[in-house]
Amino acid sequence: MILFARLIFLMLFIVALSWPLKAAEFENFETALTALPEANFKSLPELLEAIAELDDQRVSSLFTHLSKGEVYFQKSDKQVFYVVDQADGTANIVDVISGEVVQDINKNQLSKVKTTNSIRSGIAQLQAQLNLNHQDSAIRLNAAREMLADVTRISDKRLADRQTKEENSAVADILILIAALKELSKEDSAAQLAALESLDSSLEPDVRQVLVAASQDKERYSPEVQIKIKATLASIENQRNLYSYAENIFFGLSLGSVLLLAAIGLAITFGVMGVINMAHGEMMMLGAYTTYVIQQCFPNLIEYSLLIAIPAAFLVSGLVGVLIERSVIQFLKGRPLETLLATFGISLILQQLVRTVFSPLNRQVIAPEWMSGSWQINPVFSVTFNRLYIIIFSLIVFFMLLIFLKKSALGLHVRAVAQNRDMARALSIRSNWVDAATFGLGSGIAGIAGVVLSQLTNVGPNLGQAYIIDSFLVVVFGGVGNLWGTLVSAMTLGVLNKFLEPITGPVMATIIVLVGLVFFIQKRPMGLFPQKGRAVE
């Protein structure tokens, strides 16, 4: 009997020696690594939790390599290494402690620290907890969002500790949601109701998914809690709908900004000269191809290519516009049908010229880095930088043109010719040159619109044809020759299209807008802001 008791005691002693050390027994990262080669599938999860408690930056790297199956140890001295396979078939062997590449050890001399799917899942949870204590608030925020999808990945104690230490408001808000979801999973109805109060204004998709699942669980939640869950879901849906409207308005304004740039030059030439310029879309095409050529000529200046392309596209399209006016338009004044046919023929010539020079294939203009990405306002609403910059840029162009027409001598002459051509000529204003400058100015602005379009779509010979009809609709709807009318009509049509598209589809939305404009023009033939004065007729 005594001999049997001694054997039992000896076995327990051996097991105690081989059992992994607890977190409190690990003095440092190096000490913790000594237990890793001896761990098995049963003891490894507890060992990794103990290692996760260490305040060492190398812990995160160890977990990353361990989840990829890249952690090995030497059988002789139990030293631990990372073994990272390379594309050429070789392997880099790195000392875990020093981080240095080891040259005199072969992979065949090492044994792999084996893991299972369950262990790798646990490593992912521990990794998220480590990131939750990272110095970088952005990394902590991402880790908190990952935990929001599965709140069981963090214990109540660690969550409470992190909440007391967290100084970043965005991370703190996510931690509150995690705590609320953990309370919601408990059996206490009072705790569940309190948790739902914290979740009432959340727009996080993970929170909504949990609430949808909870609304269908009749057994866990009492009728009172079920009512509160449905009320919380309704509140969240209302907020999501509001931001959906805001998103439609933003995309509508961005579309309206493109229409504004495309139509504003047409409004000037149509209002001053009465010319229906069917080649206006090709002026936009030339501006887009100017942007493409600049990027091809200066590949090292991609970040500044748009800033260079804006004045270049204005000059190229403007000079082509002056050439068209001097060579064709000036001989067809007062003959709108012939002008329409002539400019339509010019548009075909320009399209074929571009096909000959650049080929019929579409060309892609690279977006600068500062126009990439988006501004995430909340989990359900983000603003893309390229569209935001387009809205701002179009408004800048609009107000600069407005100031130019109000304050400059040429602007005064343009307004005089638009109001009464004969009286302007009687006052020694050279209306022919004003027509040429006006046509060039309108074509130059169309070229700037082409620069903008190059950031939204591929550049091709038919680029301008997709916007010429919409440009005429904007001009007619706003009032011929009225810049403020062009601004209001462009933004209105853009927003209206974006609200109709989800309901009717893009084609039907365009048809509805067109039919609506037909009825509107029947009631107000001069548009929203008709020109005023004795010489308007």
- DSSP calls for 220-287: TS-HHHHHHHHHHHHHHHHHHHHHHHHHHHHHHHHHHHHHHHHHHHHHHHHHHH----TTHHHHHHHH
Could you tell me the two tokens for 247? 């998103």
Question: Domain locations in the chain?
Answer: 20-118, 133-221, 244-523
Rounded to two decimals, the pTM is 0.73
88 membership: H or E segment, kind and range: none
Q: Give the model confidence (pLDDT) of 473-516 as tens digits.
A: 888 888 776 788 888 888 988 888 888 887 888 778 888 888 88
pLDDT at site 315: 93
Of the two residues 324 and 219, the one the predictor is more confident about is: 324
At residue 229 the predicted structure's pLDDT band, cuts being 50, 70 and 90, is: confident
Question: What string of H, E and C letters represents the secondary structure of 19-48?
Answer: CCCCHHHCCCHHHHHCCCCCCCCCCHHHHH
In the chain, how long is the greatest CA-to-CA distance? 131
Question: What pLDDT, on a 0 to 100 scale, did the predictor assign at position 313?
Answer: 92
Is the pLDDT confidence value at 153 over 90? no
Q: Mean of the pLDDT values across residues 311-325?
A: 92
Give mean pLDDT, residues 174-194: 83
Distance, C-alpha 529 to centroid of its chain: 36
Q: 2: pLDDT confidence band, cut at 50, 70 and 90?
A: low
With cut-offs at 50, 70 and 90, classify the pLDDT of residue 81.
confident
Mode of pairing for the β-strands spanning 374-378 and 381-384? antiparallel
Predicted pLDDT at 27:
66
Q: Where are the alpha helices (DSSP H) in 102-149?
A: 117-132, 137-149
Instruction: Kindly state the DSSP code that residue 108 receives in the 8-state scheme.
Output: G
φ and ψ at residue 40, rounded to 5 degrees: -120, -175
Cβ neighbours around 7 below 10 Å, total: 10
356-367 pLDDT tens trace: 988 888 888 888
Q: Give the number of other CB atoms < 10 A from CB of residue 157.
A: 8
Give the pLDDT confidence score for residue 20 in this predicted structure: 42
Confidence at residue 531, expressed as pLDDT on a 0 to 100 scale: 62
Look at residues 351, 357, 347 and name the one whose alpha carbon lies nearest to residue 461.
351
User: Is 90 exceeded by the pLDDT of residue 396?
Assistant: yes
Please name which of 64, 74, 187 lies closest in space to residue 130, comparing C-alpha atoms. Answer: 64
pLDDT at 12: 46
CATH number of 244-523: 1.10.3470
- In this structure, are residues 447 and 346 in contact, taking their beta carbons and an 8 Å threshold? no
Q: What is the mean pLDDT of the chain?
A: 81
Tell me: the pLDDT tens digits for 406-430?
888 887 887 777 777 777 777 777 7
CA angle 397, 374, 285 (to 5 degrees): 40
The beta strands (E) that lie in 89-221 are given as 91-95, 110-112
Residue 18 is predicted with a pLDDT of 42
Angle, CA 318 vertex, CA 314 and CA 322 arms, to 5°? 175
Strand 80-85, strand 71-74: pairing = antiparallel
The string of pLDDT tens digits covering residues 259-316 is: 898 888 888 887 777 778 888 888 999 999 999 999 988 888 888 888 899 999 999 9
What sign results for the dihedral spanned by CA atoms 83, 86, 92, 94? negative
Q: Which residue has the higher pLDDT, 21 or 196?
A: 196
> Which H helix or E strand runs over 391?
helix 385-407
Least confident of 45-49, 210-214, 325-329, 347-351: 45-49
What does the pLDDT read at residue 17? Answer: 42
| Short-list 165, 229, 147, CA closest to 196 | 229
Of 80-84, 330-334, 342-346, the one with minimum mean pLDDT is 330-334
What is residue 530's predicted lDDT score, i.e. its pLDDT? 67
